């Protein structure tokens, strides 16, 4: 492993570290060490990183801002890549907005609103990156990425940069083609529309107020843990199953929003997984509904 770290460092790809604890890089504040941790300083640095990892056949995973994922207590055997400032560009071309893969999705919605562009108001509460939002087809309040994405630049695991049109992503609920075909979104183009700045600001303020009232934003979490089953809501089923407030170790099913599992400061990945399994088992026994997590499990089990 050290020889790969040496190669990455000598190639000046960006920050390279060994045995970096991932709890410092996830919104859940959970996760053991990664063998190799890289923050590329540029798109070129990212390409070089991917090519070197591909040459050595070393497993890798991109974590962006570390939201919507649960990293194992044992960590990750391979390389974790965190997209850095080299891919945080933003520009507007008429009603199109082009954002780098590591640009904050929340900030993107705010900046679009300031430009008088409507179509991203719903994204003000999604804490990940643009790349992660495209990967997961992130959504809220009845909308999602598939409705506004025009195209994206994707770095394949061979180090080749390609352009995907929206239809190439094969979007479904919280799913894209990148779940099965490994790649990193380095830039995305969204098609918005002109709107009234005051109306956009009012809508975003209302959405923010709703989040503050209904979500446990004061504690570390990964957002919604389960996908909503067709015709129902995961939070409603979990609450009706009587599980709200249930704790295992340092993890708790939020008393404010039942589809959030929060970390009270010392939760482990195993604590969270135990609660996930308890929720799935109880909801299925009571209602015959199988809940499927939308958070990604990362690392060694």
- Known catalytic residues? 174, 224, 294
Q: With contact defined as beta carbons under 8 Å apart, do 296 and 69 qualify? A: yes
* Backbone conformation region of residue 25, classed left if phi is above 0, alpha if psi is from -120 to 50, else beta: alpha
Q: How far is CA 72 from CA 16, 34, 178, 253, 291, in A?
A: 21, 10, 22, 19, 21
Q: What are the tokens at 112?
A: 């679009």
Distance CA 271, CA 251 (A): 6
Q: With contact defined as beta carbons under 8 Å apart, do 37 and 16 qualify? A: yes
Please state the separation of Cα 264 from the chain's center in Å.
21
CA nearest neighbour of 128 among 30, 210, 221: 221
Distance CA 301, CA 290 (A): 22
CA nearest neighbour of 187 among 153, 149, 146: 153
Q: What are the tokens at 151?
A: 């195209």
Q: In angstroms, how far apart are the furthest CA atoms of the chain? A: 57
């Amino acid at each position: 492993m050290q020889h790969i770290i040496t190669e990455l460092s000598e190639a000046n790809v960006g920050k390279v570290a060994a045995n970096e604890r991932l709890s410092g890089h996830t919104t859940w504040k959970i996760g053991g060490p990664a063998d190799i941790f890289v923050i590329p300083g540029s798109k070129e640095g990212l390409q070089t990183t991917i090519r070197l990892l591909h040459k050595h056949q070393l497993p890798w995973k991109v974590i962006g801002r570390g939201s919507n994922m649960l990293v194992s207590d044992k960590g990750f055997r391979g390389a974790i890549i965190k997209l850095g400032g080299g891919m945080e560009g933003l520009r507007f071309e008429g009603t199109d907005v082009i954002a780098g893969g590591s640009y904050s999705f929340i900030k993107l919605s705010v900046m679009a609103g300031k430009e008088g562009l409507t179509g991203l108001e719903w994204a003000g509460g999604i804490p990940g990156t643009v790349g992660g939002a495209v990967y997961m087809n992130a959504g809220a309040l009845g909308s999602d990425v598939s409705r506004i994405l025009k195209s994206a630049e994707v770095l394949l695991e061979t180090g080749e940069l390609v352009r995907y049109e929206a239809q190439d992503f094969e979007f479904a609920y919280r799913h894209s083609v990148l779940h099965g075909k490994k790649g990193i979104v380095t830039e995305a183009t969204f098609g918005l529309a002109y709107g009234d700045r005051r109306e956009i600001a009012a809508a975003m303020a209302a959405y923010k107020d709703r989040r503050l009232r209904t979500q446990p934003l004061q504690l570390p979490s990964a957002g919604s843990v389960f996908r909503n089953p067709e015709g129902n809501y995961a939070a409603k089923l979990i609450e009706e199953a009587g599980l709200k407030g249930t704790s295992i170790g340092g993890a708790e099913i939020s008393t404010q929003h039942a589809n959030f599992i929060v970390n009270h400061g010392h939760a482990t990945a195993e604590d969270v997984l135990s609660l996930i399994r308890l929720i799935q088992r109880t909801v299925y026994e009571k209602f015959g509904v199988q809940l499927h997590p939308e958070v990604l499990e990362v690392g060694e089990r």
